[in-house]
Structure 1
Amino acid sequence: MSSGLTFILGGAASGKSEFAEILARTSGKPLHYLATSQPFDHEMRQKVDIHRARRGTDWTTHEAPLELAPVLEALPTGAICLLDCATFWLSNHMMAESDLDAAQSRLLRALSDCPAAVIVVSNEVGQGIVPADALSRRFREAQGRLNIALAARADLVVQVVAGLPNVLKGKLP
């Protein structure tokens, strides 16, 4: 049922979210934004405010830090949804001590069943040093597995580095 999956990944502050927003806007479809962050501190609230201001008022925003399936499955046909981001979603599940395999399976199934086109933004976390602690290593491995699964299902995969898109799979519209 999916109308297309685009996967945008890159490092922190690489320009991936802004690129994904531009890609969504140029689709000409009704815009939906699926926010996964939980702004627990002042810095994160500021980041959320910057993202909101940049998007403007023509987006319908849905907030879902953990369970994305109900939102994805309820999106209208012919719309486009920017899910920003898979990294926060995964860390939320890790903090909640969720079953990561089950959560990932639910997300992938919901993306397949989604009637709207979806752009998923995620961080590439595997290009740095090996983390010193077990929790960070577990997160890096889980994020890598999630990114591989998303890229495998996506029609278009773009890596953003220093604000520049590098198409890894598919073709930009």
Structure 2
Amino acid sequence: MRIQFVIGGARSGKSEFAENTARSIGNSVLYVATGVCTDAEMEKRIQLHQMRRPMEWGFVETPYDLGDSVHFYDHYHVVLVDCLSTWISNLLVQEPEENWQEPEIAGQLLEQAQQWLRAVEEIDGTLIVVSTEVGLGGVAMSRLGRWYQDVLGKCNQYVAAAADEVFFVAAGIPWRIK
């Protein structure tokens, strides 16, 4: 599978860029959503993504086990995963506070990401993965925030290494960096 990785800051336009890229490749697109509706603000964000998404695209929600959706990928030319950062967040907030920063837990989460990447290698088509860059700002003020930065930062590195192309999006402008 050909992998395109789209990374950028929050509200940078990365999802819209990824959607437009998927649309330009073809009509056989599977949208893999990782978001969980936890409040009214998140519901509005999800609705915005739904309104932009063409009705003919396939759709699957995988907020906790990204690997669960891989068996759907074969049926589409393009798979758009939006987004890795939300998926990692979903996994981290399920852990009790006493487990935050535990290397063993972080290792298990990162192993899930690596297993998913190995599983998609065998599939034909294009995989577009969206994620938030966490390495440009300061160190988070909370323990959970620092753990999120550590785990997502490493996960982003795994995907970037496996990707054929990497785009960094800032202010709606994509830059091809790999």
Using the size of structure 1 for normalisation, the TM-score is 0.90
Q: Which residue of 2 aligns with 1:91?
A: 89
AA paired with 2:126?
A
Instruction: Give yes or no for the alignment of 1:49 onto 2:57.
Output: no
CA offsets 1:11-62 (integer angstroms, 9 cap, x no match) = 0000000000000000024011000010110111111111111113121110
**Residue in structure 2 matching 1:157, options 141, 157, 166:** 166
1:111-138 per-residue CA deviation (whole Å, 9 max, x = no partner) reads 3233332100000011111112222111
The 1:65–1:114 alpha-carbon spacing in structure 2 relative to 1, beyond 3 Å, is farther
Secondary structure in 2 matching 1:26: helix
Q: What residue in structure 2 maps to residue 82 of structure 1?
A: 80
Deviation digits for residues 61-88 of structure 1, max 9, x if unmatched? 1001011223123322551011000000
Q: Distance in 2 between matches of 1:67 and 1:116?
A: 21
**1:143 maps to what in 2?**
152
Answer yes or no: is the 8 Å Cα contact 1:72–1:111 preserved in 2: yes
Counterpart of 1:167? 176
Residue 121 (structure 2) pairs with residue 112 (structure 1): yes
Change (3 A) 1:101 1:28: closer
Contact 2:27/2:57 (<8 A) preserved? no
Aligned equivalent of 1:72, options 70, 73, 77:
70
Instruction: Identify which of 33, 36, 44 aligns with 2:34.
Output: 36
Unaligned runs of 5+ in 2: 96-104
Q: 145-154 or 63-72, which moves further after superposition?
A: 63-72
The separation in 1 between residues aligned to 2:10 and 2:18, in whole angstroms, is: 14
For 1:160, give the aligned amino acid: V
3-state SS in 2 of match to 1:69: helix
Could you tell me which amino acid in structure 1 is paired with residue 167 of structure 2?
V
CA distance in 1, matches of 2:11, 2:74: 30
Residue in 2 that maps onto 1:26: 24
Could you tell me whether the CA contact under 8 Å between 1:6 and 1:119 is conserved in 2? yes
Any idea what SS the aligned residue of 1:125 has?
coil
Letter in 2 for 1:62: V
Aligned residues: 167
2: CA distance, partners of 1:63 / 1:77: 16
Task: Letter of the 2:63 partner, please give it.
Answer: P
Runs of 5+ unmatched residues, structure 1? none
Q: CA RMSD in A?
A: 1.5
Task: Give the distance between the partners of 2:72 and 2:52, measured in 1 at CA.
Answer: 25
SS at match of 1:113: coil
